[in-house]
Structures are given as C-alpha cells and as structure tokens.
Chains A and B, each alone.
Chain A
Amino acid sequence: MRLSPDSIVFFETAFITLNGTILFTWLVMALLTLGSWLVTRRLSTGSHVPRWQNLIEIIVTLLLGQIRDVTRQEPRPFLPFIGTLFIFIAFCNLLSIIPGFQAPTGSLSTTAGLAVCVMVAVPLYGIRDSGLGGYLKNYIRPTPMMLPFNVIGEISRTLALAVRLFGNVMSGGMIGGILLAIAPLIFPVIMQMLGLLTGIVQAYIFAILATVYIAAGLTVHEEQAVHAENCDM
C-alpha cells in the first residue's frame, strides 16, 4: 500500500523526478485554469447570471466573507492566496473520488509545500501591513524571553498544518482501501462519501487556519495602533 503519490514515479533523471504528486497537481492546475477560463470568458453583469458563474461567485463571496470575519480587514488582498489554498485543496480532495486519481494533498510533500507557503505568507502580509520592524517586534512580545517560544510556535504550527492535512487525506484513502479489503460492498461507498465531506472540511480548516495565522500579525498591528492612540491621549 502506497502512503503517498510521491512513490508513483513517471519520469526520473539525475536532477528531476516526475512523480504522481506533481503530475496530478499539474492535472488539477490545468482543470482549474481551464474551468476558470471557460466560466469567466463570458461573464454576465446583468440580472441573469449563468449557473457556473453563479457557483463561482458564491464560492468567492463566501471566501471573502470568511476572510473579512477573521481578519476584520478588506479581504481582497488575501483572496488570491487564501482562495487558491481552499480551492486547490478542496478540488484535489473531491477528485480523489475518481478511481485512479491520487490526491496531491495526500502527499506530505504537497502539504508541507503549502504549509511553507503559509509560513512565508504570514510574515510577508505582516511586513506589508506593519513594516519589518513592527512585525519582528511581535516575536519579542510580551517580553523578549518569549522569542524562542514564538519561533518554535511558528514552526510547530506550520508543521501541524502540513501533517494535519496529510494525515486526514492519507487516512481517508487508507481507510477506504482497508474497508475495500474487509467489506467490499456499501461501506467503501459510504466512506468515500464521508471522504468528500472531510475533504471539504479539511480544505476549509487549512484555509481558515492560514487566514488566522495571517490575521494574527495584522491583529497585533491593529492593537498597536489602538494602544498608540490610547498613549497619545
């Protein structure tokens, strides 16, 4: 039993290995791009909205609402990153229902890459929001003694982010395989349906946690602004 699509190797040279994770990721990327192009090539701005455009608008509106609720800021700058995280993970998890398709999110390499992206995006958004100094000061709050713990917390939450998604997706596939061996009728179908639900939930959890981590840096900035205003008074 394969634990990860990384082990599916299609092409290998001395420097580059084209495994199943990358290939299925490309496939998902192609489908998402093609689907996006098909939906958005003829957009309606009137009262009549095509069904696919309606679906996309619902998803985008929900994402914007969730981001606004968490960050309490204008959500549009965060939409490409957070939205892509959610859509990519959810689409990978949904496509896992197709026989033969190995979800790239079932690879720890993919989830680790996404977690690294989040780990990098958090300081980038924080620095863009409050400057490099202002962001770095977060690591020595409330006292400089907290610096190691803050750094460890940053790394650990990134690791948790990666492992959580990988573990859930991988376990879902494993459970399906095991049940298929034990009880090949009905139960695998139920578990697959449950897998669809958990796939969406995992995508939501990953995206919302990334938003929370990003918002944490922004929230400090807001608190600082409020604190500075109180001091001025």
Chain B
Amino acid sequence: MLIDWPTVIFQIINFLILIALLKRFLYGPIIKAMDERERKVAARLAEAAKAEEDAVQRVAALTKEQEAFAVAREERMLQVGQEVEKWKHDALLRLQSEIDEKREGWNSILDSEQEAFLQKLKQLVSRNVFRIARKALADLADDELEARLINTFSVKIANKEEGIAAVLSASAAAVKCITGFPLVEAQKEQLTEVLSPYLNDGREIFFREENDLGFGVRLLSDGQKWEWNLNRYMFEMEADIHKAMNTLSGAHHEK
C-alpha cells in the first residue's frame, strides 16, 4: 500500500504547523515590511506630487511676477523716457537761456570794448591830426611868420589887451619873455620898445627860447602869465572836438 494513513495524518499536521510557522516568521514580517515600504513610497510619491504641485504653483507665481515685472518695466521705461525728454527739453531751454545771457554779456562787453576802442581811436586820430597840424604849422613857421607874430604881439601889447595889463602892471622885478623860436636882435629891441612904457625903473626884460612853446610868445612876471601861441588854439580846438565826440557817443550809447 503506497498510502500510509498515519503518515498522512502526520503530514497534514506537519503542513498545518508549517503554515503557522511560515505565517509567523515569513509572511507576516514580509508583508508588513512591504506594506511599510509601499507606505513610504506612497508618502514620497505624495511628497513628490505635492512638490510638483508647489513647483507648478511657484512657476505660475513666478510667471505672474515676471509678467508684472515686465509691465512695470515697460511703464518705468516709458516714464523714464518721458522724464529724459522733459529733462532734455529743460536742459536745452536752460542752456539756450545761459547761452543767450552769455551772448548778451559778450555783446555788451564787445559793444563796450568796441565803443572804448572807437573812442580811443578817435582820440588818437584827433590827437595825431592836431599833433601833425601843430608840427606842420611849426615847420611852416618861418622868419616872416615869426616877424608877423612879433608884430601882432606888439600890437596887442600896445592895445593893452586884457591879461597883458595884469602881467605888466605887477610889481615884479623882471619880465620874462619866452618864445618858441629864436629872436633876432631887431625883434628883441621891438619888444623892449613896446614893453618899455609898462616897466618901472630898474625892471628888466629877459628873453628866453623854449621849443616846447611852439609857435607863440609867453610873458611871465611875478607869478602872472600871459601867453599866445598857436598850440594853445590847437589844444583848445582839440578839447572842444573831444568834448563834442564824447557828447555824441553818449547820445549814441543811450540809444
């Protein structure tokens, strides 16, 4: 007989015991470990899903922020552009104003300088003109003209013109007669003769030559002076002309 029934019963019992042993030492712990691992994996998957969701939300938020930033940047760029344009416009206006002020100042200075230059030029020209005229007259003054001057001078003394009388009436010890050219003896005698009625006793006449005097005669006596010369006329005329020029330039400047 191939089947031994007591052995069958033993084997059934053994198999049941083996089921219990394996359930205790194999299936239970293994299933528990697998469940624990699955739980951890599920937790990690959930964490990953949450992290992904967070990342998606973060991406959305960043995208939104980026868009807002782009809009703000556009607005800021526009604002900055407007500010720059305004600043440029103001700066140009300010610069234009400064340039105008400077130009006006320069023009004013230039006008002043030009006027001063013209004034100086005029004075120089007139001075030179009169200097040349004086020089020309002095150069043209020959013996005949000097004789005529002495004659005219003698006539003036004889006529006791104003000024001469004051000089000659002074109680000076001496009278000085200064001429701008040399006198010949005849001329000295002529002058001594016309002056003699005015001279007290003991008073003398001294003749002296001074080239600076030019074409003229000067009488000096005890601090009194009477003079006639061509240069004086020329100087007076020059002064009058300068005065007239100043008056004209002042009127032009006021315009």
Contacts and interface: CB of A to CB of B under 8 A. Distances in A.
Interface of A: 3-4, 6, 16-17, 19, 21-22, 25-26, 29, 32-33, 36-37, 39-40, 43-46, 53, 56-57, 60-61, 76, 79-81, 83-84, 87-88, 104, 107-110, 112-114, 116-117, 166
Nearest to A43: B33
B184 interface: no
B26 A40 contact: yes
Contacts of B31: 60, 76, 79
Contacts of A21: 4, 7, 11
Nearest to B29: A40
A33 B11 contact: no
Contacts of A166: 2
Contacts of B33: 40, 43-45, 53, 57
Contacts of A83: 22, 27
Interface of B: 2-12, 14-19, 21-23, 25-27, 29-34, 36-37, 40
Contacts of A108: 2-3
Q: Specify the main secondary structure of chain A where it touches its partner.
A: helix
27 contacts: A17-B6, A21-B7, A22-B11, A25-B11, A32-B22, A33-B22, A40-B30, A43-B30, A44-B33, A53-B30, A56-B30, A60-B30, A60-B31, A60-B34, A79-B27, A83-B27, A88-B15, A88-B18, A104-B11, A107-B4, A109-B2, A109-B8, A110-B8, A113-B14, A113-B15, A116-B12, A166-B2
B192 to A, nearest CB: 153
Given A76-B31, A88-B15, A36 B25 contact: yes
Contacts of A109: 2-5, 7-8, 11
Contacts of A61: 34
Nearest to B12: A113
Nearest to B13: A113
Nearest to A16: B6
B25 A40 contact: yes
A22 B14 CA distance: 8
A57 B19 contact: no
A29 B3 CA distance: 21
Contact of B36 (A3, A32, A45, A88): A45
Contacts of A56: 26, 30
A83 B26 CA distance: 10
A37 B33 CA distance: 14
Nearest to A33: B21
A36 B11 contact: no
A114 B11 contact: yes
A39 to B, nearest CB: 8
Contacts of B21: 29, 32-33, 36
B148 to A, nearest CB: 145
Closest 10 CB pairs between A and B?
A: A113-B11, A109-B7, A40-B29, A36-B26, A36-B25, A45-B36, A43-B33, A108-B2, A113-B12, A113-B8
Contact of B4 (A6, A36, A79, A81): A6
Contacts of B26: 32, 36, 39-40, 56, 60
In the complex, which of the residues B7, B17, B18 has the most CB atoms of chain A within 10 Å of its own CB atom?
B7
Nearest to B23: A80
A107 B5 CA distance: 12
